[in-house]
Amino acid sequence: MKRVLLVRGGRLSPFSGLGSTHEALEQRLAAGIVEGYSHGKTAQYSSCAGSIKRLWRRWYSHPKTVQKLVGGFDIVHITDQEQAGLVPDFGNTVVTVHDLFHLFPTVRHSVEIGNQKPRWIRRKDLERVKAGINRAKLLVCISKDTQQECEMRFPGVKTMWIPHAINLEDYSTPRPRPAWFKDGKNLLVIGSEEPRKRVEFAVEVCGGMDVCLHKVGAESSPQKKAKLMRFAVEQNCDLNWVGRLEPEELIAALQHADALLFPSVAEGFGLPPLEAYAAGTVALVADAPAANEIPLERHILPHDDLEQWRDAISQLKDESEDVQERAAEFCVKNWAEKLKKAYDGF
């Protein structure tokens, strides 16, 4: 068995996107799911207070720790691009690239994606991250859109497309209907109030319709919650603020919802539509990278056409067999075979 050193910076919440994908990789390696490879160790540190101390760990102490560990492992896998400054000067190093929003800010459909004007320290940090990506031997890209951008931005580094995977069995076991669901159509919108998520567009779509829209996801601030609720009243939208759900609760909501609305215009991958499909529920998704790589073509809608979204909601029907068949393409077995191929390339 070849040993893999997993590397990240500070520990992240398992409820965050980067935190959950790191833990999934760690657990799958530990369970021997990737044939021929095992989890040797995880190099990380506990979160700490104080910007100076965090910067010291990020730029100096943690990179030295990683450099010392490299020689004892066959592969070094840095689990998100924000930590690419940790790429050592030698060894077989893989970096998982979830997106390039913060490295190369852009504007999509009048929505700013990433920090357009980072401060001096952040600019220096981004220089380290980009230099680290250029030192890597392989970039594992979770979407084809990200892979294409990596090939353009870092032409000297090998890339491989390995999308996220989910445990399909977790979504197939029936759960009870959430008590907070209402009579009639129940729709979900999952995500933060970041502009790129466009939760307000989902509210507009549902305005005046005989549906209940449930907003799932931890609130950014009470002020943003209050603003969105006021907007829902203005739009005559029945909006129920649910907040963050435990995994079992989220699966139950996905199983019993009539549809998931996913109007985001910028995603590294877009996990909620895949989760909805695995639960047997239709996901209506804006035609924007990279979330549009997941759904069936008939569920991809123009990002700004309210009427097409409303028509799609009005015409919803049971498509559980089709969407679950699509979700099966993102099973853990397929993911493990792709990662094995990537590791075998060294």
Tokens (6 digits) for 144: 């084809």
| pTM for the structure as a whole | 0.93
Give me the number of domains the chain comprises: 2
Give 222 or 49, the one with higher predicted confidence. 222
Residues of the chain with pLDDT > 70, as a percent, come to 99
- Say yes or no: 174 and 323 in one domain: yes
Judged against a pLDDT cut of 90, whether residue 19 lies above it is answered with no
One domain, residues 125 and 150? yes
Give pLDDT, residue 201: 97
Give me the pLDDT at residue 112, please. 93
What is the C-alpha R_g of the chain?
A: 21
- Token duo for residue 74: 């066959």
**Does 84 have pLDDT greater than 80?**
yes
177 & 69 share domain: no
Q: Same structural domain for residues 225 and 312? A: yes
CA atoms lying within 13 Å on the CB side of residue 268? 21
Report how far residue 272's alpha carbon sits from residue 293's, in angstroms, rounded to the nearest whole number: 13
> 264: exposed, middle or buried (C-beta count within 10 Å: 0-12, 13-18, 19+)?
buried
Which residues make Cβ contacts (< 8 Å) with residue 3, sequence separation at least 6?
Answer: 37, 38, 39, 40, 41, 72, 73, 74, 75
Q: Clarify whether residues 148 and 282 are in a common domain.
A: no
Q: Is the pLDDT of residue 43 over 90?
A: yes
What pLDDT, on the 0 to 100 scale, is given for residue 12?
83
339/271 same-domain check: no
Q: What is the pLDDT of residue 53?
A: 86
210: domain CATH number is 3.40.50.2000
Lowest-confidence segment of 56-60, 303-307, 324-328, 330-334 by average pLDDT = 56-60
Question: Of 303, 296, 301, 327, nearest to 313 (Cα)?
Answer: 301
What's the pLDDT band for 302 if we cut at 50, 70, 90?
very high
247-276 pLDDT tens trace: 999 999 999 999 999 999 999 999 999 999
Judge whether residue 16 has pLDDT over 90: no
Same domain as 300, residue 173: yes
Domain range for 199? 168-328
Tell me, yes or no, whether 15 and 141 share the same domain.
yes
Angular region, 59: left φ>0, alpha ψ -120 to 50, beta rest: alpha
Residue 230, pLDDT > 80, answer: yes
The whole-number average pLDDT for the span 330-337 is 97
Q: What is the mean pLDDT of residues 277-298?
A: 96
Confidence of residue 18 (pLDDT cuts 50, 70, 90): confident
Distance, CA of 341 to CA of 282 (rounded, Å): 32
**Residue 216 near residue 288 (C-beta atoms within 8 A):** no
pLDDT tens-digit series, residues 174-227? 999 999 999 999 999 998 888 999 999 999 999 999 999 999 987 778 899 999
pLDDT of residue 49: 67
Average pLDDT, the chain: 95
| 75 and 194 inside one domain | no
Helices 247-256 & 271-278 angle (0-180, nearest 10): 70
* pLDDT higher than threshold 90 for residue 48: no
Q: Cα-Cα-Cα-Cα dihedral of 242, 243, 248, 254, to 10°?
A: 50
Same domain, 131 and 174: no
Residues 56 and 112 in one domain: yes
**Is the domain of 146 the same as that of 253?**
no
